Each structure stands twice: as structure tokens, then as C-alpha cells.
Structure 1
Amino acid sequence: MYVPPGWPQEVRPPDSPDWETSASAWLLDAVPPDYRAYAVLRRHPVALARMAAHHVRASIQAAREGYRGAAVDLKDHLPPHAVEAVLKAYRSEGPRLVRLAQAIDLVERALRGERFAERIRPDSHRRPM
């Protein structure tokens, strides 16, 4: 079965056996552990996906704000090499969170019934000259 680029490896393809179970487990790993306490989220994966999307978007915003202020906020409390290490962590974490948000979006769309089809690029049929 086709899954689009960015589909999480831990989640089975839609319509395969236990795919929603694998999606729920993966989504629960993407949110704070306290989310596991809510039966409604375990019972309704679409609701879990929606909450996970909001959580990760908020984390992206927090990482952006943290990055913008880290040098000023920490310069009097950390040595320069430590401040640079914090900035490096933000530069790594930001893209990871964006990829996670994109993967959550794909899983949520599949949970809502969307099916993905491989698209053939128009230039892939050109013959070499």
C-alpha cells in the first residue's frame, strides 16, 4: 500500500491490519505522557491526532520563541559555548518538530478517511534526447 513521503515508519499503512492501533500508539508517543490518562483519546484516534497536532504546533512556536531569545536570556548565566550549544539544540529540534507535525497531519488525514495515491511527475515521462 502506498503511503506518502513523511509517513511515520512506526505507523502501518492505512487499511492494513491494526493500522489504527499503530497510529494511536505512535501519536501517544508524540504527546506528553499525561494524554494517556484520557480514555476518549485512546478510544478515538482522530481526537488524539487533533490534540497531537495542536500540541506539536505549540511546541514549534515555543521552540521558535526560545531560539529567538536564548542568546539574550542566557548570556549572563551560561558560558558562550553553552549558549551556542543551546542554540544548536533549538536548530535541531525545530526541524524535527516540523517533520513531526507533517507526519501527524498525514496520519490524521488517513484517520479521517483520506487515501493517498502516488503521483507521477509530469517530467518523469520525458524521453532523453
Structure 2
Amino acid sequence: MPQTATFTLSPDWPMQVKAPGTHDWERTATRWLRDLLPARYGGYLTLTRHHALLARHVQLQLQHEMRAVRAALQTSRAELPTMGIAESVIENSIRMYAVELEQLGRLARGARLVSDALLVGTPAQRRR
């Protein structure tokens, strides 16, 4: 009798990605990961054909974006007034950066989960 795997997905699992083991889940995972990268990366076949490389690059990209947003958030009050930006705009930008940092954190957690799921069953993972 065939066994059916059941998965309890983390709340951080992206809604756009089907559950691991379901029909076509890897296609939805790679599409979601590709969408997290700047459009110019879509032309690199090396990334689009190798799930592990794509997942790794997405994680690096998100880490760098988070660093950039943190730097913008931390320097807003000191640097933006010297640029002549109004206080109300500064406050709005700080809120925007805080929201973006939360969103990037959720995306990074989702990317890690998807990456781990894609790597299960690969030769490198089986050697562990």
C-alpha cells in the first residue's frame, strides 16, 4: 500500500508555493524564488535551471536588501534633514522602512524553508 506524505507547513511557508511532495510543487517553488530576484536575473539559465543555486542566491539577495533597509532606517533621522526633506516625510519613510524590514524578514524565512525543501533528496543532502 503506497504511503502518502502529509506536511505541516510553517506559517512562514509562502502561499504561492505548493506543499513539498505535491504535484508541480517544485515549479511553484522556483517561480516564487525567481520572482524575489531583480528581473535581470531571469536571463541567467544557470540560476533558473539549478534550484539549489537559485535558492542560495535569493537568500543572499534578501540578506543584502535587509542590510540596505536597516542602514536606511538607522540613518534616516541624521541624514534626511540635511537633504532638506520635511519631518513628516522622514517619519513616513521610517515607517516604510520598518514595514519593509518585516516583509523582507518573512520572505527570508520563506526562502529558507523552500530552499531546505528543494534540497531534500538531492545527492548532497543524502550524504549528510
Cα distance in 2 for partners of 1:32, 1:25 equals 13
How big is the alpha-carbon RMSD for the aligned residues of Structure 1 and Structure 2?
1.1
Which residue is 2:117 aligned to?
A: 110
Give 1:44's aligned amino acid.
H
Query: Identity across aligned pairs (percent)?
Result: 31
Match of 1:42 among 38, 45, 48: 48
Match of 2:104 among 94, 97, 106: 97
Matched, 1:24 2:30: yes
Using the size of structure 1 for normalisation, the TM-score is 0.84
How many pairs are equivalent? 114
Which residue is 1:69 aligned to?
A: 75
Stretches of structure 1 lacking an aligned partner (at least 5 in a row): 115-129
Cα displacement (A) at 1:5: 2.3
SS in 2 for 1:60: helix
Q: Deviations over 1:85-117 (max 9, x none)?
A: 110101100111011100000000000107xxx
Cα distance in 2 for partners of 1:85, 1:35 equals 31
Which stretches of structure 1, 4 residues or more, deviate above 2 A after TM superposition? none
Using the size of structure 2 for normalisation, the TM-score is 0.85
